[in-house]
């Protein structure tokens, strides 16, 4: 089928665009009929098939979608020893780590109903109309029920070379990303985007008790998908697998097939075992990604500068002669801390040769530094003994086995600036129109020395209006934003304080436990001290100790600052918990809900819970086709679990029997 599609599309292009036909009309019609017959026989239809007329659209906007299951990353490694440790003699499946944009395709009873970009892993974009213009995505597959498959949207390197013959684009990945963000879907077809499957996420017809990662990819190939090149890797205690050979083989295949890549992925063949390992908020534990150490570019070191953070840590940054890497010019790279700087550069000097690369092809980093042979004079770059901002003493301290440089001045203006910039940020107090540059000027002029002072900038209104870059309207706008931010939540307030180890999510969890009541927070922290909030999942003794120490040192300041705010209570849930204690599994096509995420939200807002598979603990299976032969329907019937339609679900939601 794919050979026929390519042949017929080439013939059509020659006929319509070159005036030099390469196939007679009779031959074209005959082969087109052969293709139609094959599509009927296999029940598979490709988007680029000449039997289909998929029109392009110019969209008004790109809608956001919440993924039914997260699209997380994988943990990274750089050595075969790490892969061996990860495998622990369990069979793996190796595949090329494609360098494109992760996308999810969702099919219902064989029809492509939605395509989603990865986005932040929880929420992405609805890119259905764009994906329908891809060269190789099936619009219809021979599958009943729900079928969800993840893969990579990309432009192959040979196609990219043709498109980029004038050198106007940096690389294929950036071009792919830009193309998918276009509202004009005709651009997608012109830029020859393709999609390669690399993991089946949901398959109603599969036997979930004995799923093989390899077999799922093999079946995807039979369904018409282009699948990432993959290879079985089996290792036993008495049979050592040479992972480096596998890696080299996969990278060779990627080169031969012109696939952009940045490494090799290894995943457990036993799907259920992989799922049992769970995930972190960042990555799944069912696989590991071997990242290729891309070649570094040589340049010379000019200096090492230090930037200060809100806790007073001074971070070294290498400044070097500008070099071109991965399509952009770079001249700075962080060295993270004193230990890493010493490990990479030894005793650095001006003019030292260094190797620069982009970590994960994004972040500039140093790979190596020229070794000091002590045979010639060097202009060494010393570690500063004083803070470059406040010029007070700086000392090296041990932090988790690493050496860090810290400013000892509690009132350092640089440290204060970073703390205040954090406090006014969107996830904290969310004061619009108050930039770091403005804060810096206010600190230097003595208007601001703490978070509380921000809420009394009204006292300096006339002076601020006289400053260059400020006017009456801009100052009034700023003061209005400050006043607006006085209505806040306990979570935002806690996060704004820059308490060491206390992040945004932990602040939210504490706020929820305290019913968003500042007084409850104070009472718990004062009475329980280092045991406070440790019953909350994710809050350990280190964070509890950090909060306690911070409270003991600054409690009067915090109490005084709290008086500036009105802590808003969480909005009362206007819905009735008619589904309290009930668990629901969802499958099949939806009719009155636009997507699964909408139905999930509806269930949870009424006190119910959504599960991904049918077990004896499931209360209901929602499926508009109650007579479907999908695996979830079969399981529900065998366990005696009611299968209900959307209509019946809505009756339950309203409290009807």
Going from the C-alpha of 156 to that of each of 149, 191, 207, 645, 653, the distances in angstroms are 20, 10, 34, 44, 49
| 269 is an annotated ligand-binding site residue | no
Rounded-to-integer distance, Cα 576 and Cα 128, Å: 35
β-sheet bridge partners, residue 353: 300
Alpha-carbon torsion (405, 411, 414, 420), positive or negative: positive
d(CA 221, CA 228): 10
Among the residues of 181-312, which ranges form H helices?
Answer: 186-190, 213-222, 243-256, 271-276
Of 306, 298, 360, residue with least CA distance to 97: 360
H helical segments located in 182-224: 186-190, 213-222
Alpha-carbon distance 288 to 266, whole Å?
A: 5
Q: Torsions phi, psi of 156, nearest 5? A: -60, 155
103 in a known ligand binding site: no
3-state secondary structure of 515: coil
28 is in an annotated binding site: yes
Beta bridge partners of 116: 104, 126
- Tell me whether residue 26 is annotated as binding: yes
Task: Answer yes or no: 97 catalytic.
Answer: yes
173 is known to lie in a ligand binding site: no
Residue 29 annotated in ligand binding? yes
- Known binding residue 531? Answer is no
Which residue in 68, 97, 418, 632 is the catalytic one?
97
What residues does 360 pair with on adjacent strands?
A: none
Residues 640 and 566 sit within 8 Å (Cβ to Cβ): no
- Residue 500 corresponds to which tokens in the numbers above? 């060491």
Ligand-binding annotation for 27, yes or no, is: yes
557 annotated binding-site participant: no
Write down how long the chain is. Answer: 657
**Residue 412 marked in a binding site:** yes
Residue 407 is assigned to a ligand binding site = no
Task: Please state, in angstroms and rounded to a whole number, the distance separating the CA atoms of residues 334 and 306.
Answer: 9
3-state helix, strand, coil in the chain (%, to 5): 35, 25, 40
Residue positions in the annotated binding site for NAD(+)? Answer: 25-29, 73-74, 118, 152, 267, 291
Which positions are annotated as active-site residues?
97
Residue positions in the annotated binding site for Zn(2+)? Answer: 387, 390, 412
């Amino acid at each position: 089928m794919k050979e026929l599609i390519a042949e017929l599309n080439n013939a059509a292009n020659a006929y319509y665009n070159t005036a030099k036909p390469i196939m007679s009309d009779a031959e074209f019609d005959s082969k087109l009929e052969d293709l139609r017959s094959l599509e009927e026989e296999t029940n598979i239809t490709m988007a680029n098939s000449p039997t289909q007329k998929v029109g392009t659209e110019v969209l008004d906007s790109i809608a956001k979608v919440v993924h039914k299951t997260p699209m997380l990353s994988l943990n990274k490694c750089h050595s075969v020893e790490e892969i061996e440790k990860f495998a622990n003699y369990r069979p793996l499946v190796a595949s090329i780590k494609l360098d494109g944009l992760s996308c999810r395709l969702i099919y219902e009873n064989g029809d492509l109903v939605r395509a989603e970009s990865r986005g932040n892993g929880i929420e992405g974009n609805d890119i259905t109309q764009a994906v329908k213009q891809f060269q190789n995505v099936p619009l219809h597959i021979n599958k009943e029920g729900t079928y969800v498959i993840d893969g990579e949207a990309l432009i192959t390197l040979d196609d990219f070379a043709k498109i980029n013959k004038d050198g106007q684009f940096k690389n294929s990945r950036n071009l792919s990303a830009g193309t998918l963000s276009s509202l004009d879907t005709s651009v997608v077809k012109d830029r020859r985007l393709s999609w390669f499957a690399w993991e089946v996420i949901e398959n109603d017809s599969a036997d979930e008790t004995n799923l093989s990662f390899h077999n799922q990819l093999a079946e995807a190939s039979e369904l018409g998908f282009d699948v990432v090149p993959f290879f079985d890797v089996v290792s036993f205690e008495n049979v050592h697998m040479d992972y480096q050979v596998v890696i080299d083989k996969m990278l060779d295949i990627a080169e031969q097939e012109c696939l952009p890549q940045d490494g090799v992925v290894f995943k457990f063949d036993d799907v259920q075992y992989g799922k049992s390992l769970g995930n972190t908020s960042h990555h799944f534990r069912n696989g590991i990604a071997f990242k290729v150490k891309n070649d570094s570019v040589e340049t010379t070191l000019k200096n090492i500068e230090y930037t200060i953070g809100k806790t007073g840590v001074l971070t070294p940054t290498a400044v070097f002669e500008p070099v071109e890497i991965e399509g952009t010019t770079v001249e700075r790279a962080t060295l993270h801390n004193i230990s890493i700087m010493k490990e990479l550069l030894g005793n650095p000097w001006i003019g030292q040769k260094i190797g620069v690369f982009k970590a994960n092809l994004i972040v500039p980093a140093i790979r190596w530094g020229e070794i000091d042979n002590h045979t010639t004079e060097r202009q060494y770059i010393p570690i500063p003994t004083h803070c470059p901002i406040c010029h007070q003493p700086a000392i090296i301290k041990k932090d988790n086995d690493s050496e860090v440089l810290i400013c000892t001045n509690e009132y350092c203006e640089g440290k204060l600036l970073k703390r205040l910039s954090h406090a006014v940020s969107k996830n904290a107090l969310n004061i619009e129109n108050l930039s770091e540059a403005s804060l810096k000027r206010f600190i230097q002029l003595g208007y601001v020395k703490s978070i509380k002072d921000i809420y009394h900038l009204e006292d300096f209104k006339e002076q601020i209006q006289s400053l260059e870059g400020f006017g009456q309207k801009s100052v009034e706008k700023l003061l209005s934003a400050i006043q607006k931010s006085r209505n806040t939540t306990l979570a935002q307030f806690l996060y704004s304080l820059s308490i060491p180890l206390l992040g945004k999510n932990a602040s939210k969890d504490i706020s929820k436990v305290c019913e968003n009541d500042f007084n409850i927070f104070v009472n718990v922290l004062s009475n329980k001290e280092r045991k406070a909030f440790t019953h909350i999942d994710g809050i350990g003794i280190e964070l509890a100790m950090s909060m306690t120490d911070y409270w003991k040192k600054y409690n009067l300041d915090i109490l005084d600052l709290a008086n500036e705010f009105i802590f808003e209570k969480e909005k009362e849930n206007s819905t009735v918990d008619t589904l309290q204690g009930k668990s629901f599994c969802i499958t099949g096509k939806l009719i009155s809900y636009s997507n699964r995420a909408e139905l999930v939200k509806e269930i949870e807002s009424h006190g119910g819970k959504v599960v991904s598979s049918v077990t004896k603990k499931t209360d209901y299976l929602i499926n508009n086709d109650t007579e479907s032969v999908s695996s979830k329907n079969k399981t529900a019937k065998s366990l005696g679990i009611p299968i209900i339609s959307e209509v019946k679900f809505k009756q339950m939601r309203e409290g009807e029997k």
